[in-house]
Amino acid sequence: MVRILHIVGRMDRAGAETMIMNLYREMDRSQYQFDFAYFTNDRCDFDDEIEALGGRIIRLKGGNPVQRFWSLFKALRAGEWSIVQSHMLFSIGLNLLAARLAGVPVRIAHSHSTSDANSSSAVGRMYQRAMRWLMSWVPTRYVACGTAAAEYLFPGQPNVEIIPNAVDIDRFAQADGSGSRRELAIPDGCITILQVGRLMPVKNHTWSVDVAAALRELGVNFRMLFVGAGPDKAGLETKVAELGLGENVKLLGLREDIAELMAAADVMLMPSLHEGFPVVLVESQAAGLPAVISNAISPEVNLGLGLVEFVGLDEGAGLWADRIMKAVNLSPPAVELRYKLLEQAGFSSKSGAEKLAGLYL
C-alpha cells in the first residue's frame, strides 16, 4: 500500500476539501491511503471520517512561511511518503520544495483556484512570481480542476492533468428535500434560495443580503439560507438585523445534509468575487437546481444542462432578484440526462478516483 500525503492547511467543509474527500472515499484503500498535513491544531470538519478511513493527520507548526517550510521538511524527512500532493495555491511552491529536499520522488501540484487575494499588493505579487518560478520545476506532476485553474497557477505548463471536481452524483440526483423544508418550517409556495460556502469576503454574502432586500421590495415570499461558517458571521447577522430581514435570511451554520437542502431549494446563489471550479455548482447541477452566479466564476462550471445563469457584480441587486425569479420557473432536466452529462464529463467520484490513481502510477 502506498501512502500519499495531502498538504491542505486544514480539512473543513469547503470546495477543494470536499472534492478531496469525494475522491478519498472512492480510492482503493488497499492500494492507496491518504494522509493529511495541517497547519493548525484545531479539530476540522472531516477529521473523524479521515481517521475512520485509516488516514493519519499530521499537525505541523504554522506561523510564517519559514516556520511552515521547516516543520513540513522535518515531517517529510521522518515520514514514509513517496508521493506528496499539495493543494495550497501559491504555497504549493514552498511545500513541494520541502518535499524535494526531503527526497520525496513524486511531487504533485494541484490547482483549485483562478485568483488570489494577495494579487492586490506589491509584496503579494512578488511572492506569486517567486512561487510560480518554483512551481515551474519543483513538481513532478501537475493537476487542476479545470483549464482556467491550470492556466492561472501553471501558466505555460503543457502537461497538466485535468481532474474535474468530483461529486457523488447519485446522492444529489436522488435526494429528497421534503424533510429539510419541514425542519426549517418553510411554508408551501415560499421560494427558497440557497448559498453554500464559507462565510468570508470572497463569497460575497453581503451582496446576497442586498439581493434579499431587493426581493422583499418586490413583495416576494422567500427564504434565503446561508450554509457555512466563517469570520463574516457576526457582520452578516448585524446587516440582516439592520435591514429587518431576520424572517427571510437564515444562517444555518455547517451542515452535512447539503444534498437534501439542494433538493429543498428553488435556486442556488453564488455571487463570489472569484472562484476556480466550485464543487457546489457541480452538486447543484447534479441535483437539477438552477443557479444564479457571478460572471467572475469560470464559465467552465456551466455543464450544458441549462441551469446556470451568469450575472455581473456591477449589475444592481434588483437585476439579480429578477434573474432569481426567472430561474425559479426553470424546469430541471431529467435525472437520466443529468447522470449522462456529468458522467461523460468526468464529474463522478469514481471516474475522478480512477484518474488520480493513474496519476499516482
Return the domain boundaries, the chain: 2-166+347-360, 169-342
Fold match between domain 2-166+347-360 and domain 169-342: yes
User: Of 3.60.150.10, 3.40.50.300, 3.40.50.2000, 3.30.420.40, which CATH number belongs to 169-342?
Assistant: 3.40.50.2000
Burial (CB < 10 A; 0-12, 13-18, 19+), residue 241, is: exposed
- What's the topology of domain 2-166+347-360? Rossmann fold (3.40.50)
**Across the strands, what pairs with 34?**
4
Handedness of CA 147, 151, 157, 160 (dihedral sign): negative
Burial of 29 (C-beta count, 10 Å sphere; 0-12/13-18/19+)? middle
Per-residue pLDDT of the chain (361 residues; tens, 9 = 90+): 899 999 998 998 887 898 899 999 999 999 999 999 999 999 999 999 999 999 999 999 878 888 999 999 999 999 999 999 999 999 999 999 999 999 999 999 999 887 776 667 888 889 999 999 999 999 999 999 888 889 999 999 999 999 988 888 889 999 999 999 999 999 999 999 999 999 999 999 999 999 999 999 999 999 999 999 999 999 999 999 999 999 999 999 999 899 999 999 999 999 999 877 788 999 999 999 999 999 999 888 899 999 999 999 999 999 999 999 999 999 889 999 998 889 888 888 888 899 999 999 8
- What is the pTM assigned to this prediction? 0.79
DSSP secondary structure of 185-247: TPPTT-EEEEEES-SSGGG-HHHHHHHHHHHHHTT--EEEEEE--STTHHHHHHHHHHTT-TT
Alpha-carbon distance of 220 to 208, in angstroms, equals 15
Q: Residue 172 in contact with residue 265, Cβ under 8 Å?
A: no
User: Are the C-beta atoms of residues 312 and 295 closer than 8 Å to each other?
Assistant: yes
Is the distance from CB of 275 to CB of 200 less than 8 angstroms?
no
